[in-house]
A and B are shown apart, each in its own frame.
Chain A
Amino acid sequence: MDKKNVKGFLEFVYDFYKSMKAHEITLVYEGEITHQITKAFTSLTESNMAKEEESNTVQKKVFHVMVECLQNISKHADSFGSDDFLFAGRGIFMVSKADAEYHVTTGNVIENSKIDELTKILDHINTLDKEGLKELYKTQMREGRLSEKGGAGLGFIDIARKTGRKLNYHFLPIDDETHFFILTSTISRNE
């Protein structure tokens, strides 16, 4: 790096740090989500929450949501463009902690052809109340089959049940073939 680039890079690092602080992000990761990563992130967040004497209920909810979000990426994320070095199963994963709540945010690439079906599933979940979600979970557990990658089709339902909120999601266009799928799950700290 020449001098100008070094300066640009240092500024980037500092800006990145500041913006993490501003958004109260305690953990951020971009890359492949493996089982090891899932274990590391959940245990890191668990020990942080224990240190801060978060209630058992909140700790368990955050743990549940993190695991399901991470597994969603590892099982469903599509690859970005056709570049060889970028593979499927990758995405961005963030945990942030505000005064009243935790946010778990995931972002990953999705092929346009899958958007309709995913939207249908998410919107359907969002029409349901507590009882409806419970029934859907039971039906899906009974009738659903495990996919090749070990998905049971239960993750989103579980996130909606554990958070007690609607699934908050967006699709941002990347190119003609793909969108970026962002899901933010919020867990209230006052439970």
Chain B
Amino acid sequence: METIKIMGTDDTPTVILDAENDIFEISGRSLPEDVTAFYDPILNWLDEYAANSNPKTIFTFKLVYFNTASSKLLLDILMKFEEMRENGLDVLIKWYYPEDDEDMQEAGEEYADIVDVPFEQVSYTHS
């Protein structure tokens, strides 16, 4: 499967979707000018991956900021994992948040409430 590697900018996150090396990550900031255009390839990749996935998928979210339009698309991504899980696949979401960022922690908790996917909250210290 093709690997997706997008380097983050000040308004788009870093995205790594690498099935071969078991790396699945979205990190950084997300306020793209066109959210749909940015996230569509990621959603399509996940559809393809779901049809032929690794035995276990650990997906990392390590965002420091996302706008409301992105929040909707992040939910769409999480829904893909919910589907994968319904089809019996082993999926775990790791939601990283800066230890002093209650809003980011709460955002993770809210997603965990909405989608039926195992969620692990991980706090980290700013470097």
User: Which A residues are closer than 8 A to B by beta carbons?
Assistant: 35, 38-39, 43, 56-57, 60-61, 63-64, 67-68, 71, 134, 137-138, 141-142, 144, 146, 150-152, 154-155, 157-158, 162
Task: Report 10 cross-chain contacts, Cβ distance below 8 Å, ordered by A residue.
Answer: A43-B10, A57-B100, A67-B67, A137-B110, A138-B113, A141-B72, A142-B114, A150-B36, A150-B69, A152-B68
With A138-B110, A146-B35 in contact, is A56–B75 under 8 Å at CB? no
A155 with B75: CB separation less than 8 A: no
Distance in angstroms from B113 CB to nearest chain A CB is 7
A134 contact set on B, CB distance < 8 A: 106, 110
A35 with B33: CB separation less than 8 A: yes
B103 contact set on A, CB distance < 8 A: 60-61, 64, 162
With A60-B103, A71-B69 in contact, is A138–B36 under 8 Å at CB? no
A71 with B67: CB separation less than 8 A: yes
User: Which B residues are closer than 8 A to A by beta carbons?
Assistant: 10-11, 31, 33-36, 65, 67-69, 71-73, 75, 98, 100-103, 106, 110, 113-114
With A35-B33, A56-B100 in contact, is A152–B69 under 8 Å at CB? yes
B67 contact set on A, CB distance < 8 A: 64, 67-68, 71
| B interface majority secondary structure | helix
B114 with A152: CB separation less than 8 A: no
When C-beta atoms are compared, the residue in chain B nearest to A55 turns out to be B100
With A56-B100, A138-B110 in contact, is A146–B10 under 8 Å at CB? no
Q: Name the 6 nearest CB pairs between A and B, nearest first.
A: A154-B68, A35-B33, A152-B72, A152-B69, A158-B68, A67-B67
With A35-B33, A57-B100, A137-B110 in contact, is A142–B75 under 8 Å at CB? yes
B33 contact set on A, CB distance < 8 A: 35
Quick one: which of B67, B68, B100, B103 has the most chain A CB within 10 A? B68
Report the Cα distance A138→B109, complex, angstroms. 11
B71 with A141: CB separation less than 8 A: yes
B102 contact set on A, CB distance < 8 A: 57
A64-B67, A134-B106 given. 4 additional CB < 8 A pairs? A39-B10, A57-B101, A146-B72, A150-B69
Quick one: which of B31, B34, B75, B98 has the most chain A CB within 10 A? B31
